Structure 1
Amino acid sequence: MKKKLVVLTGAGISAESGINTFRDANGLWEGHDIYEVASPQGFHSNPELVLDFYNQRRRQLLTVSPNKAHTNLVDLEKYFDVVIITQNVDDLHERAGSTNVLHLHGELLKARSTAYEYLVYDRKSDIIIGDTCEQNSQLRPHIVWFGEDVPMLEKAIEITLRADILVIIGTSMQVYPAASLIDYVSENVPIYFIDPKPAVNKNAFNNLTIIKDIASLGTDELLKKLID
């Protein structure tokens, strides 16, 4: 029986594909205050701005490809029962070939009804004012915004509790509630943290291995450690 390898991924794994990381040090995202474009209040105040912002992100996503870090995680499926829990809203894990991906913060290539959260649709084209669900309610990006519940969190906790190995790639572990998942692994579970600027205290966890590198090179090293 394969060991369960749980991977938590953040913006750093997609950066090498050309997708900009979520925000800069000033709390801006592509020049916008993050609350303007990533909160229910922002959408209520200026839905056209928010829709345009995500339309641009969606168009960009369709022009990029998975990188070596994504494909390295696919290779791990030969040896482990791999589950990826990602904070990313792109589909690069799926395009690379990963078969078990949980999106904590939603998916950019989906739209959902503003009134009926369960009405979710695949969407590769722009969303504009007037695009509605079958109940005639405006569509919005299928993204978890600031101040909204993270509906997949409970499932992510259940997965993490069963991990035999935990790998963290390209996330600062500063964004909650996602950052809290590391607290749910059993005490002696090996943890691998891959990041060029790892913001984690090596003494805070048992069995923590820090791989101080970008995602593609760091996952190359991870494969050597786990498989060789």
Structure 2
Amino acid sequence: MSKCLVVFLVIIADLSECKKLPASFKKCSRNDNQCLTLSIKDALEQLTVPIKEVGLPSLDPLEIPALSIGAGTGPVQFNQNYKNFKIYGFTKVESINATLTENILKIDLHVLETLSDFEYEVDGKILIFPIKGKGTGMITVDKPEFILTFNLEEYEKEGEKYLKVINKTLSIKPQKMHFEFSNDLFGGDKEFTNIVKTAMNENWKDIYADVGPSYEEAYGQIFMSIFNNLLSKVPISELFNS
């Protein structure tokens, strides 16, 4: 069964002339990967608030107005429809390594924890349990690793050279996941909801194996959109020292 994915992310467009990197961002030589690693780490840690001059949103939380993911083929056989999806934790960097080689940017990012809260509406089956309901929920991921690759391409605009992401891959490796859902998950049946939540948390690896690729695709699209918004404003001459 194919998995349907819809992501709605609001980014404010700025069509004015080319911009410089914010003064608080560290600039590096294009071939200095050690500097690049430190620069990206520092930039991520600053994004507890939006940096509007280059169109960067806050990453703590990263707000996604709507997110829909189709049913899996394993234990998660229900459509997932989310609103007001907020992800916390991307600025809490535990370790990072970044390399830029021949227009391929690779980032290996470890954060301490991500916490997502949201409004949900689901219909289908999880594990052996029928499920239909809506309410609020939260997912906590312990020490996830994000392995992100951006394939970049140069282009020219108004006499300046810019970069854009033309392809991306993302792998997410969680150490542990914990699910919380409101009692509306089963029409207000608190006892049954607790049974299912316990089963989900005990079988989180199987659940993630089923729906993880869809979330990787969704998060990858979001990261690419955010990065392309920055790259469309800041020319190569302003991104690097040389």
TM-score, normalisation: structure 1: 0.26
Of Structure 1 and Structure 2, the greater strand share is in 2
Give 1 or 2 for the bigger CA radius of gyration: 2
The structure with the greater share of residues assigned to helix is 1
TM-score by length of 2: 0.25
